[in-house]
Structure formats: C-alpha cells, structure tokens
Amino acid sequence: MKPKTLSLVLSCALSCLWPLPVLAQASSPAVDAKGQQWWQHAVFYEIYPRSFADSNNDGVGDLKGITSKLDYLKDLGVDAIWITPCFPSPQVDFGYDVSDYENIDPMYGTLADFDTLVSEAKKRGIRIILDFVVNHSSDRHPWFIDSKSSRTAEHRDWYIWRDGKGPGQPPNNWTSDFGGSAWKFDPTTNQYYYHYFYAEQPDLNWRNPAVKDAMFDVTRWWYRRGVAGFRLDAVDTLYEDPELHDNPILPGKNAYGDPLEDNTYNTKLPEVHDTLRDLRKVADESGAVLIGETWTKDVSELRRYYGDHGNELQMPMDLMFTKLKFSAPVFREHIAAVDGAGGWPVYVISNHDIERSYDRYADGEHNDQIAKVMAALYLTLRGTPIMYYGEEIGMKTTPPVRKEDVKDPIGVRGWPKEKGRDGERTPMQWNDSVNAGFSAATPWLPVPPTYKTHNVASESKDPDSILAFYNSVLKLRHTNKALLDGSYTALNENDPKVLSYLRTYQDQVVLVALNMSGSVQSPNFELSHKGFTSAKTLVSTPKSSIQGDVVTLPPYGVFIAQLSR
C-alpha cells in the first residue's frame, strides 16, 4: 500500500498577523524576512525586581542587580524582560500602587540606572517591557491627594467618588478583590471613593478624557526612553457601571469572609476594549507591544482582547493555561482551542500572583521531570512563551508558615485560608552560598531551603538539571523554523497519557511527544504511513527513544525530533 501523506495544515501564522510599524529601540530587527514581528519569535521573562538580584545589599533586589544578570539571561535565551512595577510607590502592594508613573523608586535605583539597563540590554539584543498599572494609582499619588482635598479640586473627577446610600452605608454592594467593601469613606469631603484592590489603590476614572490623556502620555514618555512595550495590569477592571448597580451575590464566602459575587457591573465592561484600542494606537506610534493580564473564562473571551481587527493587544496572556489539570487530554483540548482561535497565542505557566508551576504539577516523586515536561510543552507550542524568574531552575513556592512572617497584605487579611503571594516571590536562587547569592543582607523574604540543590550555579554544571533542559529547548526554539513559525497539528488525539504534536514549516517538521503520566508509554505515530522516513532526535530526556514508528517514553519522558521525508 502506498504510504499516505499527512495533510499538514499550512502555517496560519502569517495570515493571522496584523501589520505593525518597525520598532526602533533594540538592535535585533523588529520584523523578519517572513513578516513575523520580533515579539512572535521572542522568549519573554518576568522579573519581580524585589527578588531577582540585590546589588547594594539592602535585602531588596534592584535595577543594577538586573543589569548584572543580563549575560545570564542572554545565555539562557531570553529576548525580552518584563519588570513588574519599579516606579515610586509606598509599596503597599509591592509596587502595584504607583505614586509617580514617570520615575524609578529609589529602592530600585534611579532613572540613570534604568537607562543603563535599557542600553546594556540592547547591546545583548534584549528588550525591556515595563508594567503599566492602569486601573488605579497609589492613594499617595499627587492626583489622588488633590482629588480627595475638595469636591471642586482639579483632579476630583480623576477618581470615582460617590455619596453613600445612607450614614455608614457604601454606595453599593461591590467588594474589593483584596477583601472588604470596595468603597472607602473619606471624611474630608463626606464621600466614598472606589477601589477594586486595596484602599491604598484608588481606581482611576477612565471615563474622564483628562485621565486617558495623562495615562497615554505616560506610555509615550517611557517609549521615548527606550521601553519596547508594556504589560497592562488588571485591564478587566478599568471600567465600572456608572449607575452602580449591585453585583449579583453567589452562594458562599471568600477567604476574607465576604460573600461571593458575580462581578457583572465592575469588571470586563465593553468600554475596556475602546481603551485598549486607544492604548494600542499610542503603542503603534512607537512600534511597541502590549501584553495583557487577561484572566478570561474561555477562549472566545481571550480572543476579544486581540481586537476585531488585531487592533487591541498583540499579546493577551492565556492565563487559563495556568489552571489546567496535568493531563494530556485536558491540555490537548485547550491548546487546540487557543491555537485555532486566530490570534497569536501567549502561554504562561507561572507568575507573581499564583502558585509556581513546579508545585502545581509536582507528584512528590518526579517533580523535576514534570517541570521539564511543562518546559518542553509551552516552549514548543506555536506562540510566545512568558517565563517567570526561577522557573528555569525549578524554584518552589514557599509560603510563610506563621502569620507574623507574612508580607503580602492579602495574606495578613485572609490568614490562614489566604496565605498571600509571598511564596511565589522569594529571592532568585543563584548559588548555594548564604542567601542563595541573592544578597549579602537578609533578604526581604526568606530563601526557600531548596536553594541548596536548585540554583543557577549547581544546575549549570549538571547536564540533567532543569536549567540544562531549559537551555537546550530554548536554544532549539531560537534556531528551528518549525518551532518558531510552524503550524500546530495534534497527533494521536485519543491518547490519554501522551500529548504529542507536529510543528510544521514548509518541509521542516518537528515531532514533540510528552509523557504526562507516571508509567512507561510507547505511542505509535504511524510516521512511515505519513511519509516520513527518518527522525533525528533534537532534545530528549534520558531513556526516551524512537524505533521505527514507535517512541518509547519513560514516566514523564520528553522526546523532540526533526522528521524527514
């Protein structure tokens, strides 16, 4: 019988793209010969600046610390760094309460340090992305200080002020994401102001054109300084129902003891998309990229963030990916939906708000191996991956054990049900010396005990380490056209244990097979029937191999190969 040729879906990557102006800031080209934008080929890396590297030994990381680690990031294969907020801030929410949008907090350094970081990064072909906290400012921002000073203040309408329903009664039933009412009474003017997060984070009034103009100008100011784009914080919450309808109440209570509510009237309002389109126009003036913190309930909601004409966010994060059960069918179904949705996928497995992927998927026996499966997965899919610092060495989430040690205020408020987010924000583990090489001083959060085995220095010397694995997959990804630009085609779609797929670009085909189970698996991919005559192993974990059409995978084994006809 004549071997059947596998009908391969031609890369939709090119047809799915929307044109962008050329980016001038960094040395590597913005658009390649095939018309791909720089951010489609880039690997992003999120840095929580308090915890990455401490250059002045005060226990808190800083910009000079990040600059000192650029060679490490370059060698790892990072092309863009997203730094969570490093602007002046009272640090109630560790920087997500900004009191000056156009400066650097002295604890992180100076604007000159920032300029040095941008230029040193540029020398290495690395771009800098900042975090734009769009929904709210700090209550110490001069805009809010003026706003609360009187009902007729120039900035009064820059925030959301309302009368209470009656004495001691807030305007409606909305609760803060961080516990308690979302309204705080201010005796100076006898009105309440609205805060979706902490009371120290009053919501900006995006219905006021002056707010829009001021915030757009903030982005222009940073673009002129060489910033290649922004990660937009909490975009869902930009707008609220002007009539302040009560949210429907659901059964049950959250960790803070508040009734659960359906945020119908204060999140995901259609106006969010109008503002994203406007922010995008400003970004396009500088060829910048916008990444969204887009917590969506399904793929169609995610799809909307690209905009009907590709005119909203270039990179809305697929955060649903962080909620999936470690199971081949579950990931297969989700990936098919996201890949088929028409946008350029953006995959994330960890960030500074959620339990690290290492712990989420750990089975207690094969933890490091499972971390490699997850790395192989999101670094070989069609789309752009955003890594989180420390993921590449298998850092563990290490929440505080005692309430008195909690730094994140939501952990103090919600203890013990909600322990806060300290566990995923611990210092980067550089080596096995004191404080894991992060700082000579006691770090602001304790270093997890696993630093002795899971650190950059030790793992660099171990060819079987998680870091060595990340290095090899990232190296492959940067040079392999099929992984960069190829289409995605699922294989063996009924296999309950092995997730496998082809990435295909013209005549280049890469097979990825991931054993998501704790037992040996031997999937048959019928490669000869599909017209393939040989397979060259590109990256694999020990004891994974191919014999004819059959790939043998040990528990949580990874096998990636180039197929030829």
Spatial distance between the Cα atoms of 190 and 309, rounded to a whole number of angstroms = 45
According to CB under 6 A, which residues from 399 to 438 bind ligand TEU? 421
Spatial distance between the Cα atoms of 446 and 483, rounded to a whole number of angstroms = 38
| Comparison of 234 and 272: residue with beta carbon closer to ligand TEU | 234
Cα angle, residue 231 at apex, residues 281 and 395 outer, rounded to 5°: 160
| Comparison of 115 and 353: residue with beta carbon closer to ligand TEU | 353
Spatial distance between the Cα atoms of 152 and 156, rounded to a whole number of angstroms = 6
Q: How far is the CB of 177 from ligand TEU (least distance, A)?
A: 5
Among 62, 177, 391, 459, binds ligand TEU (CB under 6 A): 177
312 binds ligand TEU (CB under 6 A): no
* Residue of 131, 52, 38 lying closest to 93 (CA atoms): 131
Pattern 136-165, ligand TEU, x by CB under 6 A: ------------------------------
Cα angle, residue 86 at apex, residues 72 and 218 outer, rounded to 5°: 120
Catalytic hit among 285, 363, 405, 462:
285
Structural tokens at position 301: 């909601």
Q: How far is the CB of 178 from ligand TEU (least distance, A)?
A: 8
* Residue of 462, 444, 560 lying closest to 513 (CA atoms): 560
Pattern 231-250, ligand TEU, x by CB under 6 A: --xx----------------
According to CB under 6 A, which residues from 347 to 366 bind ligand TEU? 352-353
Spatial distance between the Cα atoms of 182 and 171, rounded to a whole number of angstroms = 10
Q: To the nearest 10°, the Cα dihedral for 482, 488, 490, 496?
A: 90
Residue type, 199: A
Active site residue 308: no
* Residue of 38, 34, 72, 26 lying closest to 52 (CA atoms): 72
| Comparison of 95 and 486: residue with beta carbon closer to ligand TEU | 95
| Comparison of 359 and 485: residue with beta carbon closer to ligand TEU | 359
According to CB under 6 A, which residues from 262 to 301 bind ligand TEU? 293, 295
Among 54, 62, 79, 93, binds ligand TEU (CB under 6 A): 93
* Residue of 356, 346, 434 lying closest to 385 (CA atoms): 346
Spatial distance between the Cα atoms of 413 and 415, rounded to a whole number of angstroms = 6
Q: Element (H or E) spanning 81, and its range?
A: strand 80-83
Give the three-class secondary structure for 9: coil
| Comparison of 218 and 466: residue with beta carbon closer to ligand TEU | 218
Q: How far is the CB of 56 from ligand TEU (least distance, A)?
A: 24
Half-sphere exposure of 31 (CA within 13 A, CB side): 12
Q: How far is the CB of 394 from ligand TEU (least distance, A)?
A: 23
| Comparison of 259 and 542: residue with beta carbon closer to ligand TEU | 259
467 C-beta neighbours (distance < 10 Å), count: 20
| Comparison of 16 and 92: residue with beta carbon closer to ligand TEU | 92
| Comparison of 233 and 339: residue with beta carbon closer to ligand TEU | 233
Residue type, 268: K
174 binds ligand TEU (CB under 6 A): no
445 binds ligand TEU (CB under 6 A): no
Q: How far is the CB of 414 from ligand TEU (least distance, A)?
A: 9
Instruction: Strands of 346-497 (E only): list them.
Output: 346-348, 384-388, 487-491
Q: How far is the CB of 484 from ligand TEU (least distance, A)?
A: 29
| Comparison of 179 and 486: residue with beta carbon closer to ligand TEU | 179
Instruction: Strands of 226-321 (E only): list them.
Output: 229-232, 249-253, 259-261, 289-292, 315-316
Helix ranges, 227-353 (H): 271-285, 299-304, 328-339
Among 108, 174, 197, 556, binds ligand TEU (CB under 6 A): 197
Residue with CB nearest ligand TEU? 96
Q: How far is the CB of 88 from ligand TEU (least distance, A)?
A: 15
Under a CB-based contact definition with an 8 Å cutoff, are residues 174 and 126 in contact?
A: no
Pattern 457-496, ligand TEU, x by CB under 6 A: ----------------------------------------
Spatial distance between the Cα atoms of 101 and 141, rounded to a whole number of angstroms = 9
Spatial distance between the Cα atoms of 346 and 302, rounded to a whole number of angstroms = 10
Catalytic hit among 46, 105, 233, 339:
233
Active site residue 405: no
Spatial distance between the Cα atoms of 548 and 450, rounded to a whole number of angstroms = 41
Q: Element (H or E) spanning 189, and its range?
A: none
Among 43, 133, 299, 335, binds ligand TEU (CB under 6 A): 133
How would you classify the pairing of strands 127-132 and 229-232?
Answer: parallel
Contact partners, residue 282, CB within 8 Å, separation at least 6: 216, 219, 220
| Comparison of 234 and 428: residue with beta carbon closer to ligand TEU | 234
Q: How far is the CB of 176 from ligand TEU (least distance, A)?
A: 10
Q: How far is the CB of 319 from ligand TEU (least distance, A)?
A: 9
96 binds ligand TEU (CB under 6 A): yes
Spatial distance between the Cα atoms of 491 and 486, rounded to a whole number of angstroms = 15
Q: How far is the CB of 233 from ligand TEU (least distance, A)?
A: 5
Catalytic residues: 233, 285
> Which residues are near ligand TEU by CB under 6 A?
93, 96, 133, 177, 197, 233-234, 293, 295, 352-353, 421
